[in-house]
A and B are shown apart, each in its own frame.
Chain A
């Protein structure tokens, strides 16, 4: 790709006009520490759903019972 396409002489005028139309903002340096804002953002994130250990244990016991005593499945379903 030729430089002529991207930097033709007549683009210089347009570039100069753009630079004047969009001057650098004043106070372009960061004026304050953004870490407190970042912490608030981190705290606001939704926490992953935590399942207590005893619920996992209960689920494991039920699963084991169903594997060991498959005949109990219809009775269990009837209770539900």
Chain B
């Protein structure tokens, strides 16, 4: 019996093999969305927990385990973002500010972070993947489980909301980016 068939039948060894094969990829995907290594580890375990519970719904013949795992990881990240407290401070995982960054640029960055983290989770996930990670829309659509058209709509709305929030903070996004 193939690995996926054994997994779908509830074989724990098969599940372990799949876990070891895919944990790094699921983790990398989660960290790109939540941008925190500790949370991404927890989300990786949560993702595989959901995978294990849903094993009977997986079609081992026609199903694509990688795509399925990615979609479940995206949903787990979305659930996390819906309930997580908005943190605007950079965690320890982030590189220190570039030497010579001006106070103005730091302030702009702070406003931008706050405004972005206050976006509704469903917009934030799509905007993070599309704008920050530059992931193709098709990949985002598959991971979130929506159409490419809806991905575009969510990115558009996220940008509009972001500009609105920034305007309310008195911040005008400059036409030209400040140089690094």
**A residues neighboring B (CB under 8 Å):** 1, 5-6, 10-11, 13-31, 33-35, 37-38, 41-42
Contact = CB atoms under 8 A, between A and B. Distances in A.
Interface stretch (B30-38, B61-69, B70-78): B30-38
A29 B20 CA distance: 14
Given A29-B24, A30-B28, A21 B37 contact: no
B93 A27 contact: yes
Interface string B139-180: 000000000010011011001001100000000011111001
B37 A28 contact: yes
Residue with the greatest number of chain B CB neighbours at <10 A, chosen from A22, A26, A42: A22
Interface of B: 12, 16, 19-20, 23-24, 27-28, 31-32, 35-37, 41, 44-45, 48-49, 52, 91, 93-95, 108-109, 112-113, 116, 127-128, 131-132, 149, 152-153, 155-156, 159, 162-163, 173-177, 180
Contacts of B112: 17-18, 21
B interface secondary structure, majority: helix
A41 B47 CA distance: 11
A interface secondary structure, majority: helix
B116 A25 contact: no
B153 A17 contact: no
Contacts of B28: 28-30
Nearest to B98: A20
A74 B20 CA distance: 61
